[in-house]
Chain A
Amino acid sequence: MTSDAPRPDLSRDPAWLLSLAAGLVPALAVATRVSTAAWLSAVAVLAAVAACLAVLATRRMASWVPAPAVLLAISGMLAGVELAAAAWLPQLRAGLGVYPPVTMVSCLLLGAAASAAREATAARAAGVVARSVIGLVGMLLAVALVREALGAGSVTLPTLAGGRPIVLPGLGKAPAAALLAPFGGLLVAAYVAAAVRGCWRATRRAKGAGR
């Protein structure tokens, strides 16, 4: 499974973070608040670590072993998360619906990134996954922040009780509520990805001019 996964090329397209996050796009459907994005990010990090460890533990074994191993690791982790959420965060679990399991499975992509470094050392593979996780979490939080600020006029900080909203003066009076719909997530993600790419290219140009 992991061998067929996309292997983004940072030098070709700096928006590779989003490409790696192709499976994380589903999270945009429900990441309408910063607190929700933070919880989904935590789930993504757990899944990425589990997938990375499973790939690293099985990469010296026969070639058919890593895919089921990653699947088993994710399923085990998912069972733990579902049981914990049902016990301690039932409202959040009900609100997020099918998306935490989908996000966890999507983060197999990060395990795929580790398997891309199959011939490299464990530290290098862990580095690949860590960079990917930071990128994905950053992108998800940035998109959620923009959507909530413009779409609801507030920023909700994550708490165990479900979140503490901070109303932004001026923005709360006439929010662009359409940004909270699924297409709003895609729209904001597109602009954030373009901004990341623009900044990345500008930085490269400045570095090139400095040499």
Chain B
Amino acid sequence: MSWVGILLTFSLAENVVFARLLGLYPCADQPVDRRRTVAAGAALTLLVTAGAFAAWALRVLVLEPLKLSVLLAPLTVLAIGAIGALARACLRLAGDGASRLLGPAFQPIVALAAALGVVLAVSGERAGVLESVAAGLASGLGFLLAQAILAAVADRMQTEDAPEAFRGIPLALLSAALASLAFAGLDRALFARLVGR
């Protein structure tokens, strides 16, 4: 797949939030903080990119030579957990400002699950190291885009008068469903025809 194809496929056609339903935390009743939304997107981008590299190294250097590919998922969980813990330790060292900005924005478990899903999907493509890292980066950018869209929708929804039963989480899910429907039009085959494989 070409570099442009990887970027378009993993950021739009296989969008981590809208196509794979990963990293979605339906809490529209909470106030929207754009800085933290961007911070969460940046943090997940870093986590997925580093995780994609770690998963490639595990798969190619350790598991495939030992014929233990079935253990990729559990080892990737540990690798991503370790990367996340390392990132949090670095944030603490970087100072209170960075920790305050990125720490609370980064829902660790939801992000860990999202990163795991993306990393395993990228590994499933059996790409080389650079393609894996590029796909991880593109997935992180796709997450950032999705979070920005959902934050903007949630922002608008706070001033709208929704039926009582739909306020909060159901409305957030409905918004995500409609955004996901829009992204369903961005097909992988479409990008393959536009930019080539």
Contacts and interface: CB of A to CB of B under 8 A. Distances in A.
Given A83-B71, A101-B117, A105-B116, 16 more contacts: A1-B85, A13-B29, A19-B27, A22-B110, A28-B21, A68-B81, A71-B77, A98-B73, A98-B117, A101-B77, A101-B116, A181-B181, A182-B19, A182-B184, A190-B166, A201-B165
Given A18-B26, A18-B169, A23 B73 contact: no
A26 B20 contact: yes
Contacts of A86: 70
A74 interface: yes
A205 to B, nearest CB: 12
Residue from A97, A98, A185 with most neighbouring chain B CB atoms (10 Å): A98
B108 A5 contact: yes
A26 B18 contact: no
B3 interface: no
Interface in A154-211: 181-187, 189-191, 193-195, 197-198, 201
Contact of A78 (B73, B104, B180): B73
Contacts of B168: 13, 15
Contacts of B58: none
Interface stretch (A54-62, A106-114, A119-127, A130-138): A106-114
Contact of B21 (A74, A83, A97, A185): A185
A128 interface: no
Nearest to B24: A25
Interface in A69-116: 71-72, 74-76, 78-79, 82-83, 86, 97-99, 101-102, 105-106, 108-109, 112
